[in-house]
Amino acid sequence: MSAVRPATALPAAASERDLFEWYRDGTGVVLQHRDYGLSAAGDSRAIHVPAGPHHVRRAASLAQDALDETAGPGIVMGALPFDGSCEAILRLPERVIRGAPLRGNVAPQPGWTVTDLVPDPLPIEYEAAVERALAAIDAGEVEKVVLARTLQVEADAPIDPRLVARRFNAGEPGSFVFLVALPGGASNLVGASPELVVRRKGRKVFSDPLAGTARRSQDRTRDQEIARQLLDAVKEQREHRLVAEAVADAMTPFCSNLVVDSEASLTSTATLWHLHTAIKGTLKPDAPDALTIAAALHPTPAVCGTPQAAAAALIARLEPFERRFFAGLVGWVDTIGDGEWALTLRCAEVSGSTARLHAGAGIVAGSEPAAEDLETEVKFGVGLRALGVEPV
């Protein structure tokens, strides 16, 4: 990573609608998206999802069993790992606090100072892995694969995950902000994901796959030029099309009608432009709940690649770490099957005075190793800012 400097001091947040105040160490879950938020409160039932294959499908079944046993309406909330390599715990809270997330205010400057950044793999090693992925693409082994890096952030004092969540919430308006206690109670998953996997509301279902990324500029004219270049980039369009087609194909069996944008369009976060395709449909009367639909979609080519099995095998060979909850799912599902699940992107796993960030880039024919490395650096910047550091 490049050198870093402390982020600018920020005014204190108001608390009257701060759902993160309800977060409980070891068992808490807070989910916020646009104009609504949910926070687990009181005691909760732990739904253990053991490590192993088909983990999202098994999680969906276990969640529905728990909801079926609930007297009255209920919601299951939580996060699931990328590939079932570790245990997950979903929560069925005694109570759910609902509210509109705070916007326009941000948390105070952190009470810790970042002292070290440790990348794994090193940039030169990551670029070598991209070269090997491109060789696999040239050999016809895969059409696309997503390769990730990690960045361990060390601080001089414990990192408060609530404060990190507030900073994510303020810095990435419009994203799906989450704070989840992970199994064992010693670590917390916190982030701000731009990508919706599935939303079910009654008979309506939505997905918003993203792929194709460019760093925004503070200069408005340059920013618009970057957006146009992204929209016209052949390589980025190819990468995006693979994702959108796979998501639409996986949703089709559940729908009596499915509408897919004919062309990718632009969407943005505070720091990045993305290509996206809006997908919406009408579910068949016997369609399953939101998490079961998510199980059919996950992992999409946005975080894995295509063909899925070959891409996953290549990831296992080329990435020198376990992704754990990075590129997994986070969200909720309720008694009637409605729910919303997003990818766990732009996130950190926080434990004590350490936070581990992840960032990935989609590799397709025409990818350039140095450019893919730069993309991961830019994505790290989202988490670094939330942790109190401004990349330079």
Task: Please spell the DSSP secondary structure of 275-310, one letter per residue.
Answer: EE--EEEEE-TT---HHHHHHHHPSPTTTSEESHHH
Q: Over 50: is that where the pLDDT of 353 sits?
A: yes
Q: Over 90: is that where the pLDDT of 28 sits?
A: yes
> 3-class SS at 327?
coil
> Catalytic residue at 144?
yes
> 3-class SS at 57?
helix
Q: Over 50: is that where the pLDDT of 14 sits?
A: no
Give residue 22's pLDDT: 92
> 3-class SS at 380?
helix
Give residue 106's pLDDT: 60
User: pTM (2 decimals)?
Assistant: 0.92
Cis status of the peptide bond prior to 121, with omega within 30 of 0:
yes
Angle at which helix 290-297 crosses helix 55-68, to 10 degrees, equals: 180
Identify the CATH assignment for 4-105+118-391 out of 3.30.930.10, 3.60.120.10, 3.40.50.720, 2.40.30.170. 3.60.120.10
Interatomic CA distance for residues 114 and 154, integer angstroms: 6
Q: What band does 307 get if pLDDT is binned at 50, 70 and 90?
A: very high
Q: Over 60: is that where the pLDDT of 341 sits?
A: yes
Nearest to 377 by CA among 171, 127, 128: 127
Interatomic CA distance for residues 364 and 357, integer angstroms: 23
Give residue 107's pLDDT: 58
> Catalytic residue at 195?
yes
Dihedral Cα 259, 63, 53, 351, nearest 10 deg: 100
Q: Over 50: is that where the pLDDT of 174 sits?
A: yes
What burial class does residue 38 get, using C-beta atoms within 10 Å of its C-beta: 0-12 exposed, 13-18 middle, 19+ buried? buried
Asked if 119 and 149 touch (Cβ cutoff 8 Å), the reply is yes
Instruction: Give the active site residue among 144, 172, 340, 377.
Output: 144
Beta strands in 156-264 (DSSP E): 176-181, 188-193, 196-201, 204-207, 210-215, 255-260
Least confident of 124-128, 164-168, 171-175: 171-175
| Range 9-27 average pLDDT | 66
Instruction: Give the active site residue among 172, 195, 236, 340.
Output: 195
Q: Over 90: is that where the pLDDT of 235 sits?
A: no
In sequence order, what are the residues at sequence separation of 6 or more whose Cβ sits closer than 8 angstroms to the Cβ of residue 92? 44, 45, 47, 63, 66, 67, 70, 74, 75, 76, 77
Longest pairwise C-alpha distance within the chain: 57
Dihedral Cα 84, 195, 211, 182, nearest 10 deg: -30
Which strand ranges, in their side-by-side order, compose the sheet holding 272-276? 210-215, 272-276, 265-268
> 3-class SS at 166?
helix
Give residue 270's pLDDT: 84
| Range 340-353 average pLDDT | 97
Distance, C-alpha 177 to centroid of its chain: 9
